[in-house]
Amino acid sequence: MIREPVDIAPEDPGSELAELLLASYIQELNVRFPGGFERAQGINASHDEYRMPRGVLLVVRFGARAVGCGALRKLDAGVAEVKRMWLDQSARGLGLGRELLGRLEGVALDLGCSRVRLDSSDHLGEAIALYRSTGYREINAYNDNPYAVLWFEKALF
């Protein structure tokens, strides 16, 4: 099987492409969550939190198509948070989620963080499986995201 080239690179969080990918992410959550998903009810961060030196938004390109994204922001001196990780249905099962998560963890290390946290919904089983298989462990809630029922953390070194 020939695999198209994969590129995972920073994107300005305010760009048209970033907004398009985040809209697709929100649309999927709206379908998968009972009662839908309201962006305003979730924890929102400014675009600046996903720009260096505070964080990053990465876009996954598979061949010529942008097929996903993931963001990271620094919460405090030693902890970063993964947010808005999403892949188009057509790009799932190819290892791109694992690759994206690894790149986000690399950025966290570059920012001087020794731990990464994230939250998730129990309606996102494949995401939870990815987090657990890459070393994330359940922790107590660290935020008040109304859509989260699980919170995870991973020590990076």
Phi, psi of 49 (to 5 degrees): -70, -20
Residue 41 has pLDDT above 60, yes or no: no
> What residue segments make up the domains of the chain, in order of their start?
6-155
List the beta strands (DSSP E) in 41-149.
Answer: 55-62, 65-76, 79-87, 115-120, 137-139
Residue 43 has pLDDT above 60, yes or no: no
Q: Regarding the domain with residue range 6-155, which homologous superfamily does it belong to in the CATH classification?
A: Gcn5-related N-acetyltransferase (GNAT) (3.40.630.30)
pLDDT band at 2 (very low <50, low <70, confident <90, very high): very low
Residue 39 has pLDDT above 70, yes or no: no
Average pLDDT, the chain: 91
DSSP annotation string for 17-64: HHHHHHHHHHHHHHHHSTT---GGGS----GGGGSTTTEEEEEEEETT
Residue 31 has pLDDT above 90, yes or no: no
Averaged over 40-52, what is the pLDDT? 77
Residue 56 has pLDDT above 80, yes or no: yes
**pLDDT tens digits along 129-148:** 999 999 999 999 999 988 89
Averaged over 39-54, what is the pLDDT? 78
Structure tokens at 122: 């129990």
Structure tokens at 86: 């999403």
Question: Collapsing DSSP states into helix, strand and coil, what is residue 16?
Answer: helix
